[in-house]
Structure 1
Amino acid sequence: MSGHNLLKLWASGGSRWRLHQGISRCGKACYSSSNPKVCIVGSGPAGFYTAQHILKARQNVEVDVYERLPVPFGLVRFGVAPDHPEVKNVINTFTQTAKHSRCSFYGNVNVGKDVSIDELQQAYHAVVLSYGAEGNRSMGVPGEDLAGVYSAKDFVGWYNGLPNCRELSPDLSCETAVILGQGNVALDVARILLSPVDILKKTDITQPALEALAESQVRRVLIVGRRGPMQIACTIKELREMVNLPTTRPEMVAADFEGVTEALKDLPRPRKRLTELMLKTALEKPGEKEQERRIKASRIWGFRFFRSPVEVLANHNRVAGIRLAVNKLEGEGEGAQAVLTGEVEDVTCGLVVSSIGYKSLPIDPSVPFDSRKAIVPNVMGRVQQTAGLYCSGWLKTGPTGVIATTMNNSFDTARSVMEDMDSGSLDVSAAKPGSKSISALLEKRGIKPVTFSDWEKIDNVEMSRGEACGKPREKVLTVEEMLQVAWT
């Protein structure tokens, strides 16, 4: 390259010159120590979308992603239903990000325990917290600690292979299960409980869960919500899957739908379509073919509206039923509030799954945390009163929306980081050591991180185990075995 061209390249952006220089020296980019360094805590959708946007927006930023488990992808791996493989395709995009020359993955590192936020802030110009919502919202009713009562997060974690839910082994010997909550996760749980095993065994559901479901005696699932049909939180796709689920039929209470037909015309289109499908399922006489299918059905599901849990009823320390308060609605549409009527009704059941929301937990005493909202207080992802600290995903907003919602909110946080670098409010002029100093700290503390290529060994083992039994994947279920596979 001529001196003139070199000068031109330097003038058009020093970062590109450093990049060129780095790659020509060592094949994979070995960046200048003065490059801005960003650390992301959590490798779920929020973490990877934040990383993706930062890497794309600036050609000289280096991004390190830290994850508590030895495996990446968070709720895409452990939350998405096994029979929704198309939703997991986003893993391909995250893999591209993880393999980017300026991105590194460090699994098996428990931030807040193995390394503090303060230590990360000393090593990086910016720290983004994207560790999601791993806690459960409590129902706050007597009996919720009885055997046979589970949070949806743990139940989903059990059939999806989350290591700390492996021992859950729920008792499925009862006839009726009650799910509290009417969002997509509640419908996922209902669908998994009622799906024919022949469908499930072609998915990446774990083998222990598959075996338990094959023996399951659950024949009826009630999906309970405190408000009415027009406030239901699931999407039409999830409802349609329930309606068309083989070997099942719906069972609704006609009185729950009073006045709904008249209100249809004023609903926004997505809500209108969802409500129409519910009305059709609940009240219309089915056609001949559907009628025949319903007669043959061996399992039942149904929504129960205007009901709130008051108490889980016990028999010898096990759930035997649930007492529900009967509500009425005050107000209109999305803003309608459930108000108690004073009536209660008891439902006999042997399994209760509470699907009333996930909850973020504080990670480190140095990080501000709003325990009422269960989020880190922030403005556009900037953590209040803490320069250089950011948050994205459910930790930022609370547990709402789908993967696309998380993508947009993570891009917004990434933009805040970039704006602060550009405006100088985030000082990137002084060199920071980044992973170099953190790796040294971890080594001193006896912590060995899992790299992305280590994860790929786990991935290959899971895929080949799956192939052997006609599944897309058979997950490794313990952290110990994950580490063993990663490091052999």
Structure 2
Amino acid sequence: MRHIAVIGSGPSGCYLADHLLRLVPDCRVDVIERLPAPFGLVRYGVAPDHQGTKAVARVFDRMLARDRVGFFGHVEAGRDVRLAELETLYHAVVLATGAPDDRRLGLPGEDLPGVIGSGRFVGWVNGHPDHPDPGLAPPRAAVVIGNGNVALDVARVLAKTPEEFDGSDLGADAARFLAAAPLEAVHVVGRRGPGDAKFTEHELEELATLARARPMLADPPVPIEDTSCCAVLRGFAGLLPKPVTIAFHFGWTPEAFLGNGRVASARFRNSAGAVLDLAADLVVTCIGYRTRACCTATPEDGRFANDDGHVRDRLYAVGWAKRGPTGTIPTNRVEAQTVAQRIASSLGSDERPGGAGLRSLLDARGIRWIDQGGWSRIDAAERAATAPNRCRNKLTTIDAMLAAASGAA
């Protein structure tokens, strides 16, 4: 039996494990996850109102339940087990740790209360244990910086009515915050022109269906670039007014955040030198993410240096850890197949203890780890405690998840 450890249980790690099980019939894959609950970006990064996208977790759940898969939740490489130890226990180790840290703009006022990165904001509305209530003031006006789908997710979540979250897994604290906001305007601002924006057509079109919010172009002229994105933007001109506006500003580079004790406005400048000051009680920066170091493996330029997934002898990377924070969930599936083929072609056949060795090591250190059965109990507890208009009520602390895993909640 060949043994492979995958550090991280997000889409890239789960897709990789699935491909490896198909490619290497005599392998066992152990998925090691820092949190007690698996699925990473699917559980904590996809917007809570996009349950269709989150549904891929059911596929991953079936994979974790397979005979040749082990789940080690609440185990962190570097804290509970060293990367060098895993490389000794397994024939191959894969970094699938994603990119959990927000990139920073490095601008004056970025540390003012009310300025927050999209990873932290989306993590909070998704109930991530690392992102408790950030203490934001319910906004009358919000500025969202970015020209990608994450910026659209943030704008949409801010602009929705409470009823539009029916069926989602939006957390109770975030729901109260959004319901209490006297929101009048959301400004989506990017330095690129509309033809270069990274929005997808479907995500843009969704804004036109919101109950109380109307998307619009704030800056004439109407873009004439021949792209699907621009076609949707032009169509916004025919929408009827609504209480909340989602205004798109293109060609503006952020310069500073202004305020006395809290953010009050965001300042931008265009290529002609003109200045745009937008009043804002909340600013969310959606400018990308950075990979975090994993024990002795240190990222460079936001990802682990690798040759088509190969980092060094018996160590590999996949997903955002490999390529940086680009692409969609399906992108990870295609890439994982390529990396799995490379791993399969170079696996050794010497005897290694794999998961049995890892269990012994963790138990000897008194580390409380969560297996697939423990995760199933967490999942059941969240579903049992949910409100009628939600699909689940996530446990938002490690202690609560550990209690549920043991059957105590």
TM superposition score normalised by structure 1: 0.81
What residue in structure 2 maps to residue 404 of structure 1? 330
Give the CA deviation at 1:250: 2.5
Distance 2:234 2:178 in 1: 30
Secondary structure of the 1:166 match is coil
Q: Does 1:47 align with 2:13?
A: yes
What residue in structure 1 maps to residue 284 of structure 2? 353
What residue in structure 1 maps to residue 127 of structure 2? 161
What residue in structure 2 maps to residue 311 of structure 1? 256
Q: Residues 319-365 of structure 1: CA distance to partner in whole angstroms, max 9, x if unpaired? A: 011110113xxxxxxxxxxxxx3332211111100000111111122
Q: Residues 115-142 of structure 1: CA distance to partner in whole angstroms, max 9, x if unpaired? A: 1110000000000000101111011101
What residue in structure 2 maps to residue 274 of structure 1? 229
TM superposition score normalised by structure 2: 0.97
Pick from 365, 373, 376: which aligns with 2:304?
376
Secondary structure of the 1:161 match is coil
What residue in structure 2 maps to residue 429 of structure 1? 349
Q: CA RMSD in A?
A: 1.3
Matches within 5 A, 1:102-181: 102-172=68-138, 174-181=139-146
CA contact (8 A) 2:194 2:229 kept: no
Q: Considering only CA atoms, is the larger Rg found in Structure 1 or Structure 2? A: 1
What residue in structure 2 maps to residue 362 of structure 1? 293
Q: Which amino acid in 1 is paired with 2:200?
A: T
Secondary structure of the 2:263 match is strand
Distance 1:196 1:168 in 2: 21
Change in CA separation of 1:441 and 1:348 when aligned onto 2, cut-off 3 Å: same
Give the CA deviation at 1:368: 4.9
CA contact (8 A) 1:40 1:65 kept: yes
CA contact (8 A) 2:216 2:247 kept: yes
CA contact (8 A) 1:39 1:120 kept: yes
Matches within 5 A, 1:165-244: 165-172=131-138, 174-244=139-209
Distance 1:379 1:312 in 2: 40
Q: Does 1:62 align with 2:28?
A: yes
Q: Does 1:420 align with 2:386?
A: no
Give the CA deviation at 1:66: 0.2
Q: Residues 445-473 of structure 1: CA distance to partner in whole angstroms, max 9, x if unpaired? A: 2211101111111111111112x433111
Q: Which amino acid in 2 is paired with 1:180?
A: I
Secondary structure of the 1:177 match is strand
Comparing 246-255 and 221-230, the one that deviates more: 246-255
Give the CA deviation at 1:379: 1.4
Secondary structure of the 2:253 match is strand
CA contact (8 A) 1:201 1:210 kept: no
What residue in structure 2 maps to residue 22 of structure 1? none
Secondary structure of the 1:37 match is strand
CA contact (8 A) 2:292 2:298 kept: no
What residue in structure 2 maps to residue 17 of structure 1? none
Distance 1:302 1:165 in 2: 28
Secondary structure of the 1:38 match is strand
Secondary structure of the 1:50 match is helix
Secondary structure of the 1:342 match is coil
Q: Does 1:79 align with 2:45?
A: yes
* Structure with the higher fraction of residues in helix conformation: 1
Comparing 38-47 and 214-223, the one that deviates more: 214-223
CA contact (8 A) 1:229 1:256 kept: no
Pick from 380, 385, 390: which aligns with 1:460?
380
Distance 2:24 2:362 in 1: 28
Q: Which amino acid in 1 is paired with 2:247?
A: G
Distance 1:197 1:457 in 2: 29
Q: Gapped runs of 5+ residues in structure 2?
A: none
Q: Residues 381-436 of structure 1: CA distance to partner in whole angstroms, max 9, x if unpaired? A: 111xx201000000101101110011111111111101213xxxxxx231001112
Distance 1:190 1:209 in 2: 14
Q: Which amino acid in 2 is paired with 1:359?
A: R
Distance 2:120 2:21 in 1: 34
Q: Residues 184-204 of structure 1: CA distance to partner in whole angstroms, max 9, x if unpaired? A: 111111111010111114311
Distance 1:303 1:181 in 2: 10
Q: Gapped runs of 5+ residues in structure 1?
A: 1-34, 265-271, 328-340, 422-427
Change in CA separation of 1:256 and 1:431 when aligned onto 2, cut-off 3 Å: farther
CA contact (8 A) 1:256 1:305 kept: no
Q: Does 1:475 align with 2:400?
A: no
CA contact (8 A) 2:218 2:249 kept: yes
Q: Does 1:255 align with 2:216?
A: no
Pick from 85, 92, 99: which aligns with 2:58?
92
Distance 1:244 1:201 in 2: 15
